[in-house]
């Protein structure tokens, strides 16, 4: 995220008097004529990206090269990957989803025990229409982009449903109404959450981050996702996350807006070199903590099955802490942060710990993936494995259950008021496991890392200052 001179940023956020004065006409003068909306021409009709391209030329073509369209990218910070191959939701095999766009392509689920069926798949969350699918290119792909799902504040989400075309293909509807088109602007939180809130099988499953005023200080200040994830040419900056591999090549961090020494407190600022901002400012986590793809659970009401999931509410669980330098260990049974105290680039960072059980190939040791259609209908998980294996051309395999641990970055649900203070970590049995993080017992004692002597006087001085009137 670009860093702005603080004075300018503060003025912009506060609404500098000079900017306001320019907008207010002198008293007694006639009201200025309303400026025509730049999107007024849309009232004549909206034909999809072709209409947007009248002013935003070239954007559709550029969008096809983003992670939102491709669901994949080259990945340079994860062990064991082919640098020439692109990875992401399109093709990853891991245990948070266990399906992907390839093996769990949008399709009709077979009828379940109640005679019900539905059309579903991983790539239902894609800003295309499925006829032009994940990673497709060319003019038809450009025409299929659903600009309004992200950019319209009046998008009718009921139109974004999968359906079967007369020629038997599966498509996803879009709202291309004039009403939706006339309400375009920067994406709001709801635009992003229409997909990102429900990743992994339902609301708040994946990260458990409820981006609302109750849970996040940025949401409380009416900030939106794109205020931090500010796109450049539709490429979205993201942080480093052992679980999220695909990226648009742009990175963001708290320091991008807040600077490296953001506290009015030298003691807190002294921590920022080795402690990630999230460690103190996101002391909780939430979302699913475990899933079992080898045994699905039947919803007796609907007759559909789903992976057995252990859910936790937003901000209801404690993260684990590890050194993280941005690079990722990737093995069949662990996807997690790399780093150490000795590595100057590493910082102690919080993670949501997740355990997933899925089928591994006993012959190769590799994790297998799953087509969700058969088990969604009948609970037959091995049928799902077999279907995925057929899609991928895997013939010789022996499925056995196994566990994988995944570390999820914990970068939302930011708090200022409930941030960790000295007395949370520098105590016996405090938040941080110092020994595990590479601090020998002797050093802990010598530096009093678990002693109130380290912080008592400073914290009490702060509290006296707060109470002083």
Least Å distance between CB 191 and other proteins? 10
- The site for other proteins (CB under 8 A) is made up of 97, 99, 104, 120-122, 124, 155-159, 190, 194, 200-203, 205, 299, 301-302, 304, 306, 372, 376
Q: How far is the CB of 92 from other proteins (least distance, A)?
A: 15
Find the shortest distance in angstroms from Cβ 311 to other proteins: 10
Identify which of residues 52 and 204 has a Cβ nearer to other proteins in the complex: 204
Q: How far is the CB of 185 from other proteins (least distance, A)?
A: 15
Percent helix, strand and coil across the chain, each to the nearest 5: 25, 15, 55
Contact partners, residue 98, CB within 8 Å, separation at least 6: 293, 307, 356, 358, 369, 370
Q: Which is nearer to other proteins, 297 or 460 (CB)?
A: 297
Encode 79-101: b = buried (16+ Cβ within 10 Å), e = exposed: eebeeeebbbbbbbbbbbbbbbb
Of residues 252 and 290, the one with the C-beta less far from other proteins: 290
Report the distance separating Cα 61 and Cα 64, nearest Å. Answer: 6
Q: Shortest gap between Cβ of 373 and other proteins (angstroms)? A: 11
Longest CA pairwise span in the chain (Å): 84
By C-beta, is 4 or 157 nearer to other proteins?
157
- The torsion defined by the Cα of 240, 242, 247 and 251, in degrees rounded to 10, comes to 0
Phi-psi region of 93 (alpha: psi -120 to 50; beta: other; left: phi over 0): beta
Residue closer to other proteins by CB (options 101, 248) is 101
Min separation Cβ 435 and other proteins, Å: 40
Q: Which is nearer to other proteins, 287 or 337 (CB)?
A: 287
- Beta-carbon contacts of residue 450 (< 8 Å; ≥ 6 apart): 426, 427, 428, 430, 434, 444
Nearer to other proteins, 121 or 326 (CB): 121
The tokens for 183 are 């309400």
Q: What is the Cβ-side half-sphere exposure of residue 206, based on CA atoms within 13 angstroms? A: 16
Residue 239 CB, nearest approach to other proteins (Å): 25
Nearest to 234 by CA among 154, 296, 125, 150: 150
CB of 275 to other proteins, least distance (A): 35
Question: Minimal distance in Å, beta carbon 203 to other proteins?
Answer: 8
Cβ proximity to other proteins, 142 vs 175, nearer residue = 175
Paired tokens of 177: 């109404």
Q: Phi and psi (nearest 5°) for 358?
A: -150, -175
- List, in order, residues 6 or more apart from 108 with CB less than 8 Å away: 117, 118, 119, 164, 170, 373
CA 335, 341, 347, 349: dihedral to nearest 10 degrees? 50
Closest CB to other proteins among 186 and 258? Answer: 186
């Amino acid at each position: 995220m670009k860093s702005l001179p603080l004075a300018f940023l503060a003025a912009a956020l506060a609404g500098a008097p000079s900017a306001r004065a320019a907008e207010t006409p002198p008293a007694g003068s006639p009201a200025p004529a309303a400026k025509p909306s730049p999107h007024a021409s849309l009232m004549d009709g909206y034909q999809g990206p072709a209409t947007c391209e009248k002013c935003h030329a070239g954007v559709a073509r550029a969008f096809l090269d983003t992670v939102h369209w491709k669901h994949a990218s080259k990945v340079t910070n994860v062990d064991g990957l082919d640098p020439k191959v692109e990875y992401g939701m399109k093709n990853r095999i891991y245990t948070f989803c266990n399906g992907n766009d390839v093996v769990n392509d949008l399709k009709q689920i077979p009828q379940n025990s109640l005679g019900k069926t539905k059309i579903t798949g991983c790539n239902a969350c894609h800003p295309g229409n499925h006829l032009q699918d994940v990673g497709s290119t060319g003019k038809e792909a450009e025409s299929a982009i659903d600009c309004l799902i992200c950019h319209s504040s009046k998008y009718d989400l009921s139109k974004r449903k999968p359906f079967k075309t007369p020629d038997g293909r599966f498509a996803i509807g879009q709202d291309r109404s004039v009403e939706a088109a006339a309400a375009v602007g920067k994406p709001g939180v709801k635009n992003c959450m229409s997909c990102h809130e429900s990743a992994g099988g339902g609301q708040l499953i994946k990260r458990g981050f409820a981006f609302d005023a109750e849970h996040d200080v940025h949401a409380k200040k009416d900030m939106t996702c794109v205020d931090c994830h500010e796109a450049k040419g539709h490429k979205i900056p993201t942080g480093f996350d052992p679980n999220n591999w695909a990226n648009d090549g742009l990175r963001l961090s708290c320091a991008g807006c807040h600077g490296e020494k953001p506290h009015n407190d030298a003691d807190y600022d002294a921590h920022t070199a080795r402690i990630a901002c999230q460690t103190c400012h996101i002391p909780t986590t939430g979302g699913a903590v475990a899933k079992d793809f080898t045994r699905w659970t039947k919803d007796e009401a609907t007759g559909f099955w789903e992976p057995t999931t252990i859910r936790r509410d937003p901000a209801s669980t404690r993260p684990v802490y590890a050194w993280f330098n941005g690079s990722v260990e990737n093995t069949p049974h662990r996807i997690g942060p790399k780093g150490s105290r000795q590595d100057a680039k590493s910082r102690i960072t919080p993670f949501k710990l997740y355990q997933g059980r899925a089928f591994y190939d006993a012959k190769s040791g590799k994790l297998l993936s799953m087509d969700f259609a058969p088990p969604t209908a009948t609970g037959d998980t091995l049928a799902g494995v077999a279907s995925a294996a057929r899609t991928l051309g895997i013939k010789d395999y022996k499925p056995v259950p196994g566990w994988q641990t995944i570390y999820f970055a914990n970068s939302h649900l930011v708090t200022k008021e409930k941030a960790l203070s000295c007395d949370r970590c520098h105590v016996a049995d405090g938040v941080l496991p110092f020994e595990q993080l590479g601090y020998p017992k002797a050093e802990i004692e010598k530096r009093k890392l678990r002693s109130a002597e380290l912080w008592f006087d400073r914290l009490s001085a702060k509290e006296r200052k707060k109470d002083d009137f």
